[in-house]
Amino acid sequence: MQFIVYILAYPLLWLISILPFPIFYLFSDFVYFLIYRVIGYRRKVVRENLALTLPHVSEKERKDIEKKFYKHMCDMFLEMIKTMSISAEEMDKRFQITNLDLVLDYAKKGKSVILVASHYASYEWLLTINPKIGFKGIAVYKKLANPYFDKLIRKIRSKYDTEMIETRKAIPTMAQNQRNGILAMYGLASDQSPKLDRIFHSMKFLGVEVPVHTGAEMLAKKYDLAVIMVKVDKVKRGYYEATFLTLADNPKDFEDFEITEMYLKEVEKQILEKPEYYLWTHKRWKHRVE
């Protein structure tokens, strides 16, 4: 059954990917109408998250943020499909890096890095930076239940030579690369809620005490990896800018969880500036610490 669903869906996804951008975004508007107005996908979760984390914002303003978020979410996921056919030249125009030298300097120094990202703006197109960074780009991801769609997602995300590895393979991969002297940049999205059996630290995130992911910091200390953050901003529809920020050159010099808190405070600042570009459909605050 999973294979049949995949076979039926693939031609549609390809057709969507080759649409000219003006028609592509008209189609995204139609998807927004279906997802938000008709289906109401996770609308209750989004409203609860916005009310919990933005209590200082009026209900009218939160409703406006909600609508903008759903429009952006539809754009972003369709843009991932667009990656199937978009040219490298077009991608360079639409996803620009403001300070690539920061990353290139680590490659020149022969130091591997962990890149922490968040579910903000275009984290999908972030995977297109690999040809520019001077490292072997490796993205850690959670495997999909449908093996055929998992293979498709890995293919789309690997178009720009990014190696996709499952979460459980992250530590063996880092250890092997370190033994073989292979420079790499490991990308981790570290802003969502961790599994209950992997909670080591909690902190206030958008005013709410919650458990936080600490894996990136722990791995950086274990394998002596610099920690850098990428902040992606949406300039306008279909156009993004990425800026790198160094969090720790020598992570062992920092107290436990200090790097994690630095990272999440930067994410928090970005969300508060333009909350409509954060992924509010995730149950980020489901394990609140009373």
- Helix or strand run (H / E) with residue 275: none
pLDDT of residue 198: 82
- Helix or strand run (H / E) with residue 188: strand 184-189
pLDDT of residue 167: 85
β-bridge mates for residue 203, sequence order? 210
Q: pLDDT per position in the chain (290 positions), as tens?
A: 566 666 667 788 889 999 999 999 999 999 999 999 999 999 999 999 999 999 999 999 999 999 999 999 999 999 989 998 999 899 999 999 999 999 999 999 999 999 999 999 998 898 888 888 888 889 888 877 777 667 777 777 777 888 888 888 889 999 999 999 999 999 999 898 888 878 899 999 999 999 999 999 999 999 999 999 999 999 999 999 999 999 999 999 999 999 999 999 999 999 999 999 999 999 999 888 87
pLDDT of residue 34: 96
* Alpha-carbon distances, residue 74 vs 45, 95, 212, 272, 286 (angstroms): 17, 18, 27, 21, 24
pLDDT of residue 201: 94
- Helix or strand run (H / E) with residue 136: strand 136-141
The SS3 assignment for 238 reads coil
